[in-house]
Structure 1
Amino acid sequence: MQLANYLFFTTQCDAALAFYTECGLGQVTTLMRHGDHGIPPTSEGMKGKVVHARFEGPGVLFFASDNHDAEPMRGSAHILLMDDRGKTKDLFEKLASGGKVTTPLALQLWGSYYGKLTDRHGVQWMLDCKV
């Protein structure tokens, strides 16, 4: 068994996946679009939008799609457990670009180099480095 998240966007899934690729988290390994391969779009506005995507990188797996009735992201966050402070800082800065830092990346009371942010696509991320 493995737990993986599924991210729902209204119409910005392509932009979000490109952003996560640019940040170095991994890449899209499966991509299907509304209107392709006999998949009917739910509306004309959804034609060409992402109906299902798989995103993978070292230690990263999630799925995503555009969904006409998607609710804003809330109540959940991706936590990335890291082992290099320099890489943690670099990734944190990339993910925070255009987003909002809610806990600045710093050494925390519990001993982790940790920070939390909401990225420009409304997804919450926590980065935790024990080193």
Structure 2
Amino acid sequence: MNPNQTAVYPYLAFNGNCREAMTFYKDCIGGELEIMDFASAPMDTPPEAKNNVMHSRLTKGELTIMASDSMPGQPVTNGSSVSLSVNCASKEEVDTFFNNLSKDGKVTMPAGDTFWGAYFGMLTDKFGIHWMFNYDKPRQ
């Protein structure tokens, strides 16, 4: 991650299960996970929220996903307007990520060859997050 380069990163919000979700994503994708809970912050936090995640970041190469738990009294409503689109380096990487993240989730389009020349699949994971995986196959 080049600090002098402008970039956009997905930021996910959870209702108290951010640590579980981000640990699951790390197990599925790999990379390095950093987590800071509300107890580490110099702010007034209700006791029941002290172990909730204030900020987390999962990085693997150029892939970065950030997330946190919602503030107490501000629940998250999951919607279908955002998907995490991951451009993979190989068909095997698509299959690995897809198979790992689909556990206890819902496959909306099985991974496979497409008419546009890619290997592609879509799913919603067990936390309600929508994922798209794409591998642009070399042109022949």
Give the TM-score of the pair, scaled to structure 2.
Answer: 0.85
SS at match of 1:120: coil
1:73-129: CA deviations, max 9, x gaps?
431111111121112111110011111000111111111110000111111110001
Instruction: Measure the CA separation in 2 of the matches of 1:12 and 1:50.
Output: 8
Alpha-carbon shift at residue 17 of structure 1 (Å): 0.8
Query: Quick one: structure 1 residues 40 and 33, their matched pair in 2 at CA, closer, same or farther if it must change by over 3 Å?
Result: farther
2:54 to 40, 51, 55: 51
Q: Which residue of 1 aligns with 2:26?
A: 21
Query: Higher Cα Rg: structure 1 or 2?
Result: 2
- How many residue pairs are counted as aligned between the two chains? 129
Q: Which residue of 1 aligns with 2:94?
A: 88
Q: Which residue of 1 aligns with 2:112?
A: 106
Instruction: Measure the CA separation in 2 of the matches of 1:58 and 1:113.
Output: 21
Unpaired runs of at least 5, structure 2: 1-5
Counting aligned pairs with the same residue, the percent is 26
Q: Which residue of 2 aligns with 1:32?
A: 36
Alpha-carbon shift at residue 59 of structure 1 (Å): 2.0
SS at match of 2:115: coil
1:14-40: CA deviations, max 9, x gaps?
1001101111242213x2211224232
SS at match of 1:35: helix
AA aligned to 1:119 is D
Q: Which runs of 4+ in 1 moved over 4 A?
A: none
1:3 to 4, 8, 25: 8
Instruction: Measure the CA separation in 1 of the matches of 2:80 and 2:43.
Output: 29
Query: Quick one: structure 1 residues 25 and 79, their matched pair in 2 at CA, closer, same or farther if it must change by over 3 Å?
Result: farther
Q: Is the 8 A contact 1:36 1:48 kept in 2?
A: no
